[in-house]
Chains A and B, each alone.
Chain A
């Protein structure tokens, strides 16, 4: 029968006290999980800004010579969508950056909880809105681009394109969304449970 003090002695004489790894390579400090999450959002935002610039460049200097203003309007709409999505990702990046790892556990856990609640809300409206606006823009763009094509080509293209979009949104997208929502809800639940453990 051991008493707690004996367990303490046991703990203190444990040979597992020497870290098996060397001093962490701080040049790879971006590998930290929080930093990784932050950088993912930042890189995504930068890519979207570059995409918007590329499309804008094509519209201005590409020499397409479209006849209708709305075709350029569609390209502008794609740029706007990319920029809006980029701002959302940049905002998420800032939200993660503001989480204070040096705060006490309750505050720290509640900051992550707030972040995940925000992600949950974002997932709800961001995906559908992005899908609808992007397809609207592409639909408008194709009006002029497809005007010269044969009726058969237009029909085949229309069916394949619409079919793929419907499949991607209602089947693939919904499944991914549901999985992500469940994962976030599970994380929020676990965070709440741990928070309670400190104060019960």
Chain B
């Protein structure tokens, strides 16, 4: 496969998941699109370095995580951290499934940066082993974190959904 073919394959395969990760991270569709583009530019720029030590999924997600973590700093923008009032209004106005999904993205974007990324990967059903490899932490440490984040996110979502 040529570099362009590999890139196209990676984009088609991973872009939807990466976009969700970015959406969870920023809580904004426009910023998620920017981040997705930025991530795949980095994938293209680093593709020649891929030696196959990790699988493509881990490799691409790790680039996405790194891009997310740096993006907001370099762009001098702040995450669109939805304020509490806005979340309450949002939950009160919208009730269908699509709006619940949006509420979920908004709730995730209120978590600390690293936790947003970890929980997005859990929701995306990535194996714990892969998430640990992407985040560069031990699986035990990851499990403890995931347990805590799950609880926090569920409570936050329920508190807004009940409004």
Contacts and interface: CB of A to CB of B under 8 A. Distances in A.
Nearest to A102: B46
| Interface SS of B by simple majority | helix
Interface in B97-138: 97-98, 100-102, 104-105, 112-115, 122-125, 134-137
Contact of B7 (A4, A17, A26, A28): A26
B16 A198 contact: no
A26 B4 contact: yes
A33 B65 contact: no
A109 B114 CA distance: 12
A76 interface: no
Interface in A72-119: 101-109, 112
Contacts of B102: 16
Interface in A158-200: 183, 187, 190-191, 194, 197-199
Interface in A1-44: 1-4, 7-8, 10-21, 23-24, 26, 28-29, 31-35, 37
A119 to B, nearest CB: 13
B70 to A, nearest CB: 6
A3 B158 CA distance: 9
Interface of A: 1-4, 7-8, 10-21, 23-24, 26, 28-29, 31-35, 37, 101-109, 112, 183, 187, 190-191, 194, 197-199
B38 to A, nearest CB: 6
Contacts of B15: 19
Interface string B122-157: 111100000000111100010000000010011001
A101 B33 contact: no
B154 A191 contact: no
22 contacts: A10-B101, A13-B97, A14-B104, A17-B19, A23-B40, A24-B44, A26-B44, A29-B44, A29-B45, A35-B45, A37-B74, A102-B49, A102-B59, A103-B62, A105-B65, A105-B136, A106-B136, A108-B66, A191-B73, A197-B113, A197-B114, A198-B135
